[in-house]
Amino acid sequence: MPTVLKIGPYRFFFYSNENGEPAHIHIQRERMLAKFWLRPVALASSTRFSPKELRNLEKLVVDNRDAFLEAWNGYFSS
């Protein structure tokens, strides 16, 4: 499960067996978890994050989308 980025308490990652799905990123903080699609950026699922925190996470995903896509494509194209 490659970690792509850490920002504050958040860890951005994907699972190494997810190449059959569209590009996305998981975000974890403690026991909270969210998943965002990257094309276009959209919330796929969430557990325990508040709506306000999800809005902040969506902004972080938008701001770092190119890095996430580069990591995704680099990992799954090899």
pLDDT in tens, 25-65: 999 999 999 999 999 999 999 999 999 999 999 999 999 99
- Taking the model in full, what pTM does it have? 0.95
Find out whether 23 and 39 touch, Cβ atoms under 8 Å.
yes
Count of structural domains within the chain: 1
User: Distance between CA 22 and CA 29 in Å, rounded?
Assistant: 23
**Measured distance CA(56)–CA(34) in Å, rounded:** 12
